[in-house]
Amino acid sequence: MPSPTPFRATLARSVRLFSAFRKEQTDPDFFYGLLARDTVAQLDSYAELKGTLIVDVGGGSGYFSDALRDSGARVVCVDCDAGEMTARDGRMPVDSILGSALDLPLATGSVDLCFSSNVLEHVPDPIRMADEMLRVTRPGGTVYLSYTNWLSPWGGHETSPWHYLGGHTAARRYARKMGRRPKNVFGESLYAVSVARMLRWARSRPDAVVVDALPRYLPRWAKFVVGVPGLRELVTWNLVIVLRKH
């Protein structure tokens, strides 16, 4: 079984990821494949992956699940949207379950690692989703939660940067310009989640300790921005919170 590439959060990596991001819509296999491999390498620095039982919350068509499985992990992909799950090749991902991130169809303490990438901003109750991720994780297990914060340059997703004028305004502008509603509609499938809110949640949990909190796509030296109120909402871009459950 090949080992994940050693993870290094360098400036060159950031440039590579942001360059690939431009192909998210036109070549999703390239972008999500690259991001999934990068994420597996990052995860490997926090937890042993080989033989680990992982749930990929909101895993969609399974790019991250596949990369995690290639690292030797046992993976269950959970998503509430059958259309998203079959978007890649018309088939459901291997070992997948149709279910909600707000009410995970898994027993308490049943997985070694609970993983979610860029899903939290798409649920109406992010705290409930985060609570569910901790619930299904066993004591001693790891939670990896990553999401795009609202005030980042990509907070409005395809309606950015007009989301700075308000989510509904940005959505209406997109519809006028493109002749169709955005995929990510503010108040329906996209919600405003701040860095501060989720850090407060993570630090207030009596059943877990924060292992790390950092900007996912930025160089390691940029980690300090997470500790600067105000600045972190604009610069973090995408926050990763890693927890270890007691």
Rounded CA separation 38/160 (Å): 24
| Spans in the chain with pLDDT lower than 50 | 1-3
Overall size of the chain counted in residues = 246
The values of phi and psi at residue 196, to 5°, are -60, -40
pLDDT of residue 3: 46
Q: Which of 72, 221, 55, 73 is nearest to 132 (CA)?
A: 55
pLDDT of residue 1: 47
224 CB-side CA count, 13 A: 2
**Residues 24-53: pLDDT tens digits?**
778 888 888 899 999 999 999 999 999 999
Identity of the amino acid at 125? D
Rounded CA separation 33/222 (Å): 25
pLDDT of residue 5: 59
**Residues 175-213: pLDDT tens digits?**
999 999 999 999 999 999 999 999 999 999 999 999 999
